[in-house]
Structure 1
């Protein structure tokens, strides 16, 4: 008997409909074959299923089984075809119809139970977008799939449970929806990142200029390059971003979770990724590791950092091939990988935070330590960062060593009696922002931007197009005058020119102003290196 069961295949984040055709016959020599360009994990499915059926009390002896995964010209990958193949076999054996308008997805273990299978959210979204009424998935994947509304979700525990479900028919069975809306899932979801151990801004001594730049970065999604000697706090400053970033919105959470579920990074029983990712690849990372790749395309670090932070420490130590490959992801917010006549697209709208030393020895410009590098070495070191990459970075900041005044104010140079050890007798105190106060300003600015760009498919000022700049970033005469003068003196490209306006727009949002004023442009200009 021939049965046809609906499943799917993944090409990037795109779900493609797959027909699983199962023919079970009692004639001929017993065999179990799978055709239709399956990979090794699918080829091993026949061994898992034969043992699983046997351990579930279902005898498939003396059966000739042929499974075809159509279309046959598309490479298939993944163990989730176990469930649709099992459904096809059961329906053929029991001589019952396959449930209509249904997609089946899940890996089966040797005891007949269904295992947690990566990609449940993508299955649920596929069903919603293609008007498929029902999805059958492992019980452990229900919370993840239940994020999507208007899809009937049936959790399958084991082959015995599946057999009873098929015999009774799904019309009389209540589908399982533990979380019927996204709000409930968000409220009960878990954080998969170590945000509780994040560095607090107030724990970092001094560096007020850098902290201000990172506040602007968090508020507007702007890219940052920090240059300074070793040990001045560049890495700590980058890690403190975790504590001031706003939470993901509902739409952003779904975007990020789609990437992480594809790689199996959502734990059993998990639902949405709620916190912004913070990715910090080592400087030896390959181009494929950063951008993604593979015969079956997989996302790289730039996509795993989508809607979050990509921190590249020791930026000049990355190979030029790797750093130059960031041009398209930064500019277009996506990575395109062509495989097997198809193009896989992965989103990559991340905020880049790069940190680098000013020279090979690291001490160029240090007030107390002499640089030992020759001019030729310094020039070669700086050439590792090309003009096009530097042009795509919004905020360029020098991070200098902390002075004794800041150490005194932080109580780092006081003895047990509270007396200053090495500091001047009089120190003018500087206001110290707390993590909470900075985060509040960032949230306020992001809320303004969310309302501003409602319906435009962008979430922050850094993503503005020319159309948005003309609409939301009008400059008065004085502001435009100083910007044009600076553009001539600093040899700014048009991209840099517009980035300064975007940064000024964010500064105005932080300060609660609807209009960009002279001081906003002046501050934004401070964060550009001369070219």
Structure 2
């Protein structure tokens, strides 16, 4: 006796279909699952056995073999419980699905079973539903908790159930208790939007820092803020999302897929319309930061995809964790290799770091009542926690000075997030036109060939660059960074060539290189 039903699993952030073949044979009773199942799937034998019995059916006393095809890809998750139970009941001829049998090839089953036959929701439904739509699957049968999330994918029928008996009744009678809900128009453009968004208008002073934020966001340049404790670094960083442009529809689906797989989708059935802002603690491990683990999952750098990854107190992070970000920041993706599979998670983020100038936090600052107690060796040791290769991937270094009481109490309002966003949009429009035929979107992504092509300097700017390179001790790795930043600054004025003022401002954004602190 044989039956085949369809299930699904996750590889990275993408779903893939799995054929679940059930064979019942005579012999000593045995229940075996093959096809590279993980521990949660192997444990499903007991859940499936109890769920079938407690739903009023008999568990076959036979030699049961279940194959998960393709057999060369590791399967994980508890979502195979439901299709395995349905496969066993069909193979043992305990349920007669009649005309529905021809629909099994176009029906996908997903769900975790409890011992009493109840069906529980799982993570990663959205990428599974997207894959099902691409493979011309017509129906999804899944837990009630996952219905809204699956219906974000248009053009596929979604049926939600709370118990195994309900699924069996649907298969045998083809009647759905709330058919009108299935056919009702579903508005997929829901989103997580906070009612109150922090605005840059609340930031007093820091005109140069706000300007640096505009440049960084316009060209998606990674940013490092350096200043004493209490100067406002964290406050500024938390307001950067307020000047980011809205996500496109494709970007929303991409970000929502990542959060669905990671199990961090707080409201199922709603797309992530707000760009992510992630702020992990400095005690985070390398696997937590970039992803991985025994069953690889997205890390913080992937959860911040298309948004901001803010690392406060940057030198306090373990050196190994910081160094593990170098390749993902360069490539825009995280690749986790295992013996049986390679997992790829996207990581196109804007990295924002914040650090003190020294261990005590007051080196080179003029903060009343505070003097630096660090020796030159201690200052050097603190700053050397950030390696040269990591700093090579951070385009802009900006000082965040201490603000006096007069500045903090002034009534004049500064530049708002709305004003900053309008400036940023102009620069991004220039980049959109420039890279229309390229495979990149932002100035920060340019390679050496593109830098040479698009970063044309006026003669006076060329002279300034040569003079600065010799006098200020810039390294070769800083040159491309300065040119990319200059290109973004020139885009604010819609200038095709880079002028002296553009280059001079870019040079001021390379504080750590200019002072040869590292």
**Smaller-chain TM-score bracket:** 0.7 to 0.9
* Larger CA deviation: 233-242 vs 509-518: 509-518
Q: Offset of 1:321 from its aligned partner? A: 1.5
1:485 to 459, 467, 481: 467
Aligned ranges 1:95-174 → 2 under 5 Å = 96=97, 97=101, 99-168=104-173
- Do 1:154 and 1:175's aligned partners in 2 also have CA atoms closer than 8 Å? no
Instruction: Assess if the C-alpha contact under 8 Å between 2:310 and 2:351 holds in 1.
Output: yes
Q: Which runs of 5+ in 2 are unaligned?
A: none
Any conservation in 1 of the 2:192–2:274 contact (CA below 8 Å)?
Answer: no
Deviations 1:426-471 (A, max 9, x none): xxx7x71112222333344445544544575544332233454455
CA contact (8 A) 1:198 1:239 kept: no
Given that 1:303 and 1:348 are in contact with CA atoms closer than 8 Å, whether structure 2 keeps it comes out as yes
User: Whole-Å Cα distance in 1 between the matches of residues 414 and 342 of structure 2?
Assistant: 50
- Change in Cα spacing, 1:105 to 1:477, as seen in structure 2 (3 Å) is farther
Does the 8 A contact of 2:73 with 2:340 survive in 1? no
Displacement of 1:81 in angstroms is 0.5
Of residues 459-468 and 301-310 in structure 1, the stretch that sits farther from structure 2 once superposed is 459-468
**Counterpart for residue 372 of structure 2:** 371
What's the TM-score, normalizing by structure 1? 0.85
Matches within 5 A, 1:258-407: 258-267=257-266, 269-367=268-366, 368=368, 369-407=370-408
Check 1:244–1:178 CA distance in 2 against 1; reply closer, same or farther (3 A cut): farther
Distance 2:476 2:107 in 1: 52
CA contact (8 A) 2:10 2:128 kept: no
Distance 1:395 1:453 in 2: 22
Q: CA deviation at 1:525?
A: 1.6
Instruction: Within 5 Å, give how 1:46-57 maps onto structure 2.
Output: 46-57=45-56
* Higher alpha-carbon deviation: 469-478 or 313-322: 469-478
Residue equivalent to 1:209: 208
Cα distance, 1:351 vs. partner? 0.8
1:18 equivalent to 2:21? Answer no
Specify the alignment match of 2:2 in structure 1: 2
Q: Which residue of 2 aligns with 1:422?
A: none
1:190 aligned residue: 192
- Aligned residues: CA RMSD: 2.9
Indicate conservation of the 8 Å contact 1:83/1:104, yes or no.
yes
CA distance in 2 between counterparts of 1:493 and 1:196 reads 46
Task: Pick closer, same or farther for the CA change 1:457–1:107 going to 2, 3 Å.
Answer: farther
Q: Give the Cα separation in 2 of the matches to 1:318 and 1:44.
A: 38
- Mapping for residues 407-426 of structure 1, pairs under 5 Å: 407-410=408-411
1:78-97 superposed matches below 5 A: 78-92=77-91, 93=93, 94=95, 96=97, 97=101
Shift of the 86–341 alpha-carbon distance from structure 1 to 2, 3 Å rule, reads: closer
Q: 1:191-239 deviations in whole A, cap 9, x for unaligned?
A: 4xxx445432122222111121112222221111111111111111111
Per the TM alignment, residue 107 of structure 1 is displaced from its structure 2 partner at its CA by 1.9
CA distance in 2, matches of 1:272, 1:15: 18
Aligned residues, how many? 503
Check conservation: 1:142, 1:177, Cα contact below 8 A: no
Q: Is the 8 A contact 1:335 1:345 kept in 2?
A: yes
TM-score norm. by structure 2 comes to 0.87
Structure 1 residue 138: Cα displacement = 2.8
